[in-house]
Amino acid sequence: MMSKKAVVDEERALSFFVDGKSFSVSNADPNQSLNEWMRSNCITGPKVMCEQGGCGCCTVALVKPGEKMKAIVSCLTPLCSVDGCHIITSKGIGSSREGFHEIQKRITELDLNVDTVHLDSL
Ligand code: FES
């Protein structure tokens, strides 16, 4: 039989995907940003610099069920807000093994820095 505490803890667990990999976080810190959580879990595609939403180096794509994909700055996104979402980082859109995404190919062609490029410039 499951104790009442176990039920409460289970209700607090967040579930989401990053680059297709499933994660579950119990008792998430309401003050922790998505970027802080990703970098503390060795997901280092999104960088961190200004932590104020200004530089864009922490940008990821966020897919919420039933909504269109959108770009967000992970430094200002609370981890608790991504429950049920799919997050796609710059490392999740393609690789040398699986084949590069058209955006990655274009970044290479233009000799741009993948961490600071603004996609609308492509
Ligand atoms: S670290 Fe600069 S926008 Fe997130």
Beta strand 14-18 pairing with 86-88: parallel
Q: What is the 58 CA–ligand 1 centroid distance (Å)?
A: 5
| Fold observed for domain 4-93 | Ubiquitin-like (UB roll) (3.10.20)
Burial of 33 (0-12, 13-18, 19+ CB in 10 A): buried
Per the prediction, the chain carries an average pLDDT of 85
Query: What ranges do the domains of the chain cover?
Result: 4-93
The confidence band for 8, taking pLDDT boundaries of 50, 70 and 90, is: very low
CB of 106 closer than 8 Å to CB of 122: yes
Mind listing the pLDDT tens digit for each residue in 77-117? Answer: 999 999 999 999 988 888 888 888 887 788 788 876 655 55
Give the nearest ligand 1 atom to 48 CA.
1
Partners of 33 in the beta sheet? Answer: 78
Q: What is the CA radius of gyration of the chain?
A: 16
Of the candidates 40, 36, 35, 42, the residue with the CA atom closest to the CA atom of residue 62:
35
For residue 59, give both structure tokens.
């940008």
Q: Which 8-state DSSP code applies to residue 13? A: -
Does any ligand 1 atom lie closer than 6 A to the CB of residue 50? yes
Looking at residue 116, what is its pLDDT?
A: 52
pLDDT at 2 over 70: no
